[in-house]
Amino acid sequence: MKKIMVVFLFFLLVFSACQERETENPFFSEYLTPFGVPPFDQIQNQHFVPAFERGISQQQAAIEEIVSNPEAPTFENTIERLEYSRELLNRVSLVFFNYNSANTSGEIQQLAQEISPMLSAHSDNIMLNAALFDRVREVHQQMDQLDLEPQQRRLLEETYKAFVRNGALLAQEQQARFREINQELSLLTLQFGQNVLGEVNTFQLVIDNQEDLSGLPEPVIEAAAEAAASRGLENQWVFTLQNPSVMPFLYNADNRELRRIMQQAYINRGNNDNEFDNKEIIGRIVNLRLERAQMLGYDNHAHFVLEETMAGNISGVMDFIGQVWEPAIALAREEARELQAMIHEEGNDFQLEQWDWRYYAEKVRREKYDLDEEVVRQYFELNNVRDGIFDIVNRLWGLEFVDQPDVPRYHPDVQVFEVREADGEHIGILYMDFHPRESKRGGAWMSSFRSQHITPEGIFVHPVITIVGNFTPPSARQPSLLTFDEMTTFFHEFGHALHGLLSNVRYPSLAGTNVPRDFVELPSQIMENWAREPEVMVTFARHFQTGETIPDELMQRLEESAHFNQGFATVEFLASAYLDMEYHTLTRPLGQDRLWEVPLTINQRTIENTGLIPQIHFRHGSTHFNHIFSGGYSAGYYSYMWSGLLDADAFEAFRETGDFFDQTTAQAFRQHILEMGGTEDAMQMYITFRGQKPLIEPLLKQRGLLR
């Protein structure tokens, strides 16, 4: 009897311990935090894999219920049930992949290598489930006979297309290969991004001769000294490939040889025949994407991708970017001649090179417009810009932002605000993470920890949005002072945040930024227009020490210089858009035995086909082109320019009223664009807002390309 009791107590203790360990995993229960944000202070790395496994298991069980349901398939018991089947999986995925981008570590990266193929296999198990697809197809075939609301109809259409585009109609043996491709791509794209980050974190230019700092602004020198000190290097200066370090160096350093070293290191990220080399990975990604697209009946990967965009097809993209490229390359050639003239005027006989362009462009800008970036930065203190954005958004849509210092955050640097309607109604939570660190990938982006939607029970779920940047950090002597480009980038990402925050959609897969790739940048890029308008800029541009509003004469010089160097900026961008299309319009696989040569070959082919001048390099070269090889922009990098077409035309709607804060126009933009998510065709949403299709002239005018 005692033995039985001991055994019983042992198993009871084991069960209790297991139960306690399960309840310790914060993903397994409702978040008991302010506003239901993730409990970042409780989340540990060991929680992720068990949460993913349970999330996958729960969705598999839900799908089994759908498939085994003896009732005839309906929208409710099949499409809607599938839509709401991944609550836990969404919860843990959003936290984990935001960590992997903005607060990663060696352990997180190793977990990503384990988790990404797990999720790829799970997705394939859903999309290639024949019994599930049969039910989806049966509901889709009845669509015109069903009494569906517009959002329900849209969800049904998108769900059916998702199955077809993910191999549901393939033969069984093809589906097996389809799974293999997806597994391999999930790891390759992940490795590509990790390699770029590794390259950035590894490189450092160490200067030990003070004369080599000539031309650099004092705050840049101070930041380099702090970077050296943090590495234990006394009386030295360290420059890195993070944007707030490399860009001021290329714009200001008088030492031409050091500029060359920095430029070459910057453009050769992922191209150095070391552990972070991405050349062969690119070839493998391109071949696998091509094979998958052709299995699905498309000529190439671009054909597959563009079917779901506003541009519609390859010719639509190429015709559009061609209209911008021709005036841009002509202007860039003029700019190159002007920079070469300055080189000669200084008594130099060398030819303008890529590592000279930014340096001499900055000199010309100072000479023409008496503009010094270091002077301009003093009027764009980070928190002043933030408050200025808050004020602009308040004037447009009545939104209010309330600091929440006690809300959990994933890093001490992060700022958190509650977003409210004018009447105080809660809208959502906004996280903002501004400065570079080794745990964060480069660039700037918006994401979410929870997307807006309405539950099956009719409960409105408020969004939790995050925007991440790599802006100039504060130093020991001064706060974070943004360059003009960083300031407009802040506005840009805030526009994405508004798209997520103001979403008013029923289904999570249609909410917020779940729109075509060449439409998603409209809400972000239109915000940049307010950033650049002089009468708006004066409301937030104040000197960080004196509080003085930016002087009229400086504002005028900024306005006069708005189109300066736009040939370079546009060509640099479009060259990468052409590079993207060059990779993804291939119709034959690349030779497997020499994949490491692919980037050089494709780069050169793009240069020859476009007439790109040698003094300008791609904004994103092949081996560090995260957008297309590690992000979601493959065959879609052009979309930033396409959205520029939309944002320039859309801002004209405000300009035509004579009031940049016209309430009728602002409310129409909110109602027909920001709130709609992907519930309607993108072009139709735009036409409903604007009353017409977008015109290209405002874009050309905005960039100074309309002669």
Beta bridge partner(s), residue 447: 466
Residue 456 · residue 491 · CB < 8 Å: no
Nearest to 465 by CA among 423, 421, 496: 496
Compute how many other C-beta atoms are within 10 angstroms of the C-beta atom of residue 81: 19
Dist CA 616 CA 623 (whole Å): 17
3-state secondary structure 247-259: HHHHHHCCCHHHH
Residue 672 · residue 684 · CB < 8 Å: no
Q: Is 493 a catalytic residue?
A: yes
Residue 103 · residue 410 · CB < 8 Å: yes
Tell me which of 83, 158, 381, 493 is the catalytic residue: 493
Residue 276 · residue 202 · CB < 8 Å: yes
Residues in the chain: 707
Q: Which two tokens stand for residue 50?
A: 């068990």
Dist CA 225 CA 213 (whole Å): 11
Dist CA 450 CA 421 (whole Å): 19
Dist CA 75 CA 73 (whole Å): 7
Tell me, rounded to whole angstroms, the distance of Cα 222 from its chain centroid. Answer: 30
Compute how many other C-beta atoms are within 10 angstroms of the C-beta atom of residue 223: 25
Residue 296 · residue 167 · CB < 8 Å: yes
3-state SS assignment for residue 60: helix
Q: Cα dist. 183→168, 278, 505, 538 in Å?
A: 17, 18, 32, 52
3-state SS assignment for residue 334: helix
Q: Which two tokens stand for residue 647?
A: 């944002």
Burial class (CB in 10 A: 0-12, 13-18, 19+), 342: middle
Q: Which two tokens stand for residue 603?
A: 């780069």
3-state SS assignment for residue 311: coil
Q: Which residues are catalytic?
A: 493
